[in-house]
Amino acid sequence: MKLYTTFLACLTGFAIMTSCNSTVSPQDRLTVNDDKINEIIALMTLEEKVEMLHSKTNMSSEGVPRLGIQDIKYTDGPFGIREENGDGFRPLGWKLDSATYFPTGSALAATWSKELAYKNGWAMGKEGRLRGKDIILGPAINIQRLPVGGRTYEYLSEDPVLSARLSVEYTKGSQEAGTAVCLKHFALNNQETNRGSVNVIADERTMREIYLKPFEAAVREAGAMCVMPAYNKVNGYYCSENAHLLNEILRGEWGFKGMTVSDWGGTHSTMGAALGGLCVQMTGDNYFGQALIDSVRNGALDEAVVDAKVREILRLRFAIEPVPEDVANTVMTSQPETQKVAYEIAQKSIVLLKNETRNLPIAEDVKKIAVIGQNAVLSTAAGGVGAGVKTLYEISPLEGIRERAGQDIEVTYAPGYRSYKMSWGKPGPLGPLDAASPSDPADPELLAEAVALAKDADMVIFFGGTNKSIETEGSDRQNIDLPCGQNELVQALYEANDNLVTVIISGGPCDLRVLDQYSPAIVQGWWNGMEGGKALAEVLFGDIAPSGKLPFTFPLKLEDSPAYAMGNFPDKNSGGDLFTLMYRLDATGLTRDQIQEYIDNLPDPESRYTEGILVGYRWFDTKEVPVMYAFGHGLSYVDFEYGALKCRNRNDRIEVSFDLENLGNMQADEVVQLYVRRIDSKVERPYKELKAFDRITLNAGETRKVSLEFPVSELAHWDMDKNGWIIEPGRIEILVGSSSDDIRQSISTEI
Ligand code: BGC
């Protein structure tokens, strides 16, 4: 008992030390308790140590009960604290675990707001504490390499700088609210197809400049305490046993001092994972249980390797104070102050793609609106596998519009098309409105009903896009077509009433070639959190100006995108999804033994990243391939004037300043974007690359001086021969504008 009290007292003391010492680097803050931690390790048996290195339950790993050290409790993020679940992720049906559903990853990224990313992390961290959690499994910060990617909606952007800046802020916010982040999925988990077995083959430059950047920034600058090795292999080794990624880069180069936790079911060996840098096997103990003990006892593995893992876990344990059992889960997870954050993000994420004939904002003489499309009413909180949220409430677009329209404007609704729904690998239909497949044609009856409403209204708001059965963890989309006959429907609606606005509700890009012809105005509305419907109505009615910008390119057609154009995707082998196989026996109809045999015999597919650093707009720009809507695109209800640039290069930082004027008659935000183009570089480069950005709020008619800056080190490239970062001297052109394809001013300078 004495020992127990002593350790608890130490725990509190350690937490205070951690937060008070502001002179140390973010990662070094984790090591302040190392002397005490080493004393604890010296007291532990091998069995106690190994008990910490695998799951205890689906969402926890063991502490050291004999020494009063609490278990570590995990929860899924990244945009809502997941409901409490038991074996097989079955919900436990708690009453107080309804959380705030924040806008999903691509929606957050569309705000291009560091401040909102911080608030998002902070709000998640706060709710994590209310639920007694130590680690949020998020943010999910892989680069959106494929337009079809099943988890595009969870991830932030196709651009590493935008992803990195937002990841840093989210991480700071969550950890300052008291809950550690677990950056996922490290690394190069850019496809769901064969995610459990695919071997990603990428060169070092591509990895460093594109795919590792957001992880590096969140580790180095924000002190992320936990990292989740991904399911896939990178250059021949599973991420959970990839010594190059975990030991050489993460710990060696970036100075990571925290712990690593395999993705669920993503551990594949005892010795490989032990030496390759994994701390905790999630879930199960077949590798990091008795087999690990035996490996130490028979001399194959040095116990110091186990000690190092325990040390890294204890660092996090001491930095994050455990929430006492009787304090956790005593109030509802979702709280008004965190709901407000969801609302603020939603207001700033909505992207106005097109407003050709100024159909938006909704004109004052509109007295009857026909809202068409199931996506106006379909919930987007749950589904999509791990990142689904049991939301406390969710304001749908239709509810938001009706509420804002009030008594004076009549709002009618028709579903317009069948929605495709799927449950754990089993296709629908689950109800009368469900299509059998996303490629189903328009339903004639639903179409006729919708057209009749459109004819009878002053204006049509069509809600198209995908849903969380189409874009989901565990599988990639087959294509980016608008599903279930939406193209046919929108054409018919436009012919009935050309005062038509389309709102795309999706997490990733869709093929808009047909829709674009029949829709004078288009809005990207995202899966925008519990307050999404309210925020959308405010934008449509012009209470606020739209200010989101695309975090990824909408290609004209899928085949134009880099991995497709290079023939790198799709690959032919299909291995099934590990997670579904392991955790949902009900969905597969197989026994555990049959599943193990299946996993052992998975094919060995490869994904070659030969497009290299030309990901997203870097590809389209450099190859001069036209796109539907460019990276960074997003219109407002006002115009902004960009003044001439002034550039200063001092103290290894480049500072660019200019005047920005709001020419309109309402307050509005502009996201200013700075790209750099290398002139006469001897190295292969994209045409231009984002280096800095900011979100500026200006009142009607206001002019403000804006400054953007970035360190010269941001201009370094990874030199494959020297195996390191190099800054190539020479002239650079600085391009500043409202979007990657709307550059307003430029200036050149020497570095
Ligand atoms: C996902 C992770 C998630 C984990 C636990 C995995 O299938 O890839 O993102 O955190 O499950 O739910």
* pLDDT, tens digit, 9 for 90 and up, residues 471-488: 998 889 999 999 999 999
Q: Which CATH number fits domain 336-551: 3.40.30.10, 3.40.50.720, 3.40.50.1700, 1.10.3720.10?
A: 3.40.50.1700
Extents of the domains making up the chain: 2-319, 336-551, 631-750
How many whole angstroms from 664 Cα to the centroid of ligand 1?
45
For residue 54, give the nearest of 45, 62, 66, 64 by alpha carbon. 62
Nearest CA to ligand 1 atom 9: 386
- Which ligand 1 atom is at minimum distance from the Cα of 195? 8
- Region 113-120: mean pLDDT is 98
More confident residue, 194 or 37: 37
How many whole angstroms from 733 Cα to the centroid of ligand 1?
42
- Which ligand 1 atom is at minimum distance from the Cα of 230? 8
- Region 416-436: mean pLDDT is 76
614, HSE (Cβ side, Cα atoms, 13 Å): 20
Helix crossing, 303-319 with 290-297: angle to 10°? 130
- Which ligand 1 atom is at minimum distance from the Cα of 76? 10
Residues 507 and 133: beta-carbon distance below 8 Å: no
Nearest CA to ligand 1 atom 4: 264
Nearest CA to ligand 1 atom 6: 264
pLDDT > 90: what percent of the chain? 86
pLDDT band with cut points at 50, 70 and 90 for residue 600:
confident
More confident residue, 738 or 386: 738
Residue type for position 500 = L
- Which ligand 1 atom is at minimum distance from the Cα of 184? 9
- Phi, psi at residue 313, to the nearest 5°? -70, -45
Which CATH architecture best describes the domain 631-750? Sandwich (2.60)
How many whole angstroms from 86 Cα to the centroid of ligand 1?
14
Which of 226, 263, 578, 581, when mutated, tests ligand 1's pocket best, judged by the most ligand atoms within 8 Å of its CB?
263
For residue 493, pLDDT over 80 is answered with yes
- Which ligand 1 atom is at minimum distance from the Cα of 474? 7
How many whole angstroms from 79 Cα to the centroid of ligand 1?
13
For residue 592, what pLDDT is reported? 75
Distances (CA, A) of 408 to 133, 298, 365, 372, 399: 47, 80, 11, 20, 15
pLDDT band with cut points at 50, 70 and 90 for residue 75:
very high
Tokens of 709: 């800056």
- Sequence-distant (≥ 6) Cβ neighbours of residue 246 within 8 angstroms: 186, 227, 229, 239, 260, 276, 277, 278
Residue type for position 86 = G
- Buried b / exposed e over 516-540, threshold 16 CB at 10 Å, is bebbbbbbbbbbbbbbbbbbbbbbb
How many whole angstroms from 472 Cα to the centroid of ligand 1?
12
- Which ligand 1 atom is at minimum distance from the Cα of 386? 12
How many whole angstroms from 736 Cα to the centroid of ligand 1?
38
- Region 521-541: mean pLDDT is 98
For residue 666, pLDDT over 90 is answered with yes
How many whole angstroms from 567 Cα to the centroid of ligand 1?
29
How many whole angstroms from 263 Cα to the centroid of ligand 1?
6
- Which ligand 1 atom is at minimum distance from the Cα of 231? 8
Q: Where are the beta strands (DSSP E) in 528-652?
A: 554-555, 606-608, 627-629, 640-642, 646-650
pLDDT band with cut points at 50, 70 and 90 for residue 575:
low
pLDDT tens-digit profile of 148-169?
999 999 999 999 999 999 999 9
Residues with CB under 6 A from ligand 1: 76, 137, 184, 263-264, 386, 579
CA dist 139 and 242 (Å) reads 21
Nearest CA to ligand 1 atom 12: 386
How many whole angstroms from 316 Cα to the centroid of ligand 1?
20
Nearest CA to ligand 1 atom 11: 264
pLDDT > 70: what percent of the chain? 93
For residue 234, what pLDDT is reported? 98
- Which ligand 1 atom is at minimum distance from the Cα of 154? 9
Which CATH architecture best describes the domain 2-319? Alpha-Beta Barrel (3.20)
- Sequence-distant (≥ 6) Cβ neighbours of residue 601 within 8 angstroms: none
Distances (CA, A) of 32 to 5, 27, 28, 39, 746: 21, 10, 7, 13, 47
Helical (H) or strand (E) element with 244: none
Residues 251 and 27: beta-carbon distance below 8 Å: no
For residue 474, what pLDDT is reported? 87
pLDDT tens-digit profile of 39-64?
999 999 999 999 999 999 999 999 99
How many whole angstroms from 624 Cα to the centroid of ligand 1?
37
Tokens of 410: 């009549």
Which of 61, 89, 137, when mutated, tests ligand 1's pocket best, judged by the most ligand atoms within 8 Å of its CB?
137
- Which ligand 1 atom is at minimum distance from the Cα of 578? 7
Residues 538 and 347: beta-carbon distance below 8 Å: yes
CA dist 524 and 505 (Å) reads 7
| DSSP, res 519 | -
Which of 89, 473, 581, 582, when mutated, tests ligand 1's pocket best, judged by the most ligand atoms within 8 Å of its CB?
473
Distances (CA, A) of 12 to 226, 257, 312, 427: 21, 20, 18, 51
10 Å CB burial of residue 586 (0-12, 13-18, 19+) is exposed
What is the maximum span of the chain, computed from C-alpha positions, in angstroms?
A: 82
How many whole angstroms from 593 Cα to the centroid of ligand 1?
23
For residue 59, what pLDDT is reported? 96
- Total count of residues recorded for the chain: 751
- Buried b / exposed e over 679-701, threshold 16 CB at 10 Å, is eeeeeebbbbbbbbbbbbebeee
- Which ligand 1 atom is at minimum distance from the Cα of 137? 10
More confident residue, 571 or 446: 446
For residue 596, what pLDDT is reported? 75
Which of 75, 76, 581, 582, when mutated, tests ligand 1's pocket best, judged by the most ligand atoms within 8 Å of its CB?
76
pLDDT tens-digit profile of 429-473?
666 688 888 999 999 999 999 999 999 999 999 999 999 999 998
Strand partners, 435: 420
More confident residue, 176 or 88: 176
Helical (H) or strand (E) element with 719: strand 717-719
For residue 570, what pLDDT is reported? 82
Within 10 Å of residue 275's Cβ, how many Cβ atoms? 16
Query: What positions carry a catalytic annotation?
Result: 263
For residue 268, what pLDDT is reported? 95
For residue 2, what pLDDT is reported? 35
Residues 602, 605, 610, CA angle at the centre, nearest 5°? 165
For residue 597, what pLDDT is reported? 77
**DSSP-derived 3-state class of residue 655:** strand
For residue 433, what pLDDT is reported? 80
Which of 264, 389, 475, 584, when mutated, tests ligand 1's pocket best, judged by the most ligand atoms within 8 Å of its CB?
264
- Region 22-49: mean pLDDT is 92
705, HSE (Cβ side, Cα atoms, 13 Å): 6
CA dist 342 and 381 (Å) reads 12
Tokens of 29: 């803050």
CA dist 548 and 569 (Å) reads 30
How many whole angstroms from 124 Cα to the centroid of ligand 1?
17
For residue 428, what pLDDT is reported? 60
Verdict on whether the full-model pTM lies above 0.85: yes
Nearest CA to ligand 1 atom 3: 386
Tokens of 93: 């049906």
- Region 55-81: mean pLDDT is 97
How many whole angstroms from 75 Cα to the centroid of ligand 1?
10
CA dist 709 and 629 (Å) reads 26
Report the Cα 258 to chain-centroid distance in Å. Answer: 21
For residue 10, pLDDT over 80 is answered with no
- Region 64-92: mean pLDDT is 94
On average, the pLDDT of the chain sits at 93
- Which ligand 1 atom is at minimum distance from the Cα of 59? 5
Nearest CA to ligand 1 atom 8: 263
How many whole angstroms from 138 Cα to the centroid of ligand 1?
9
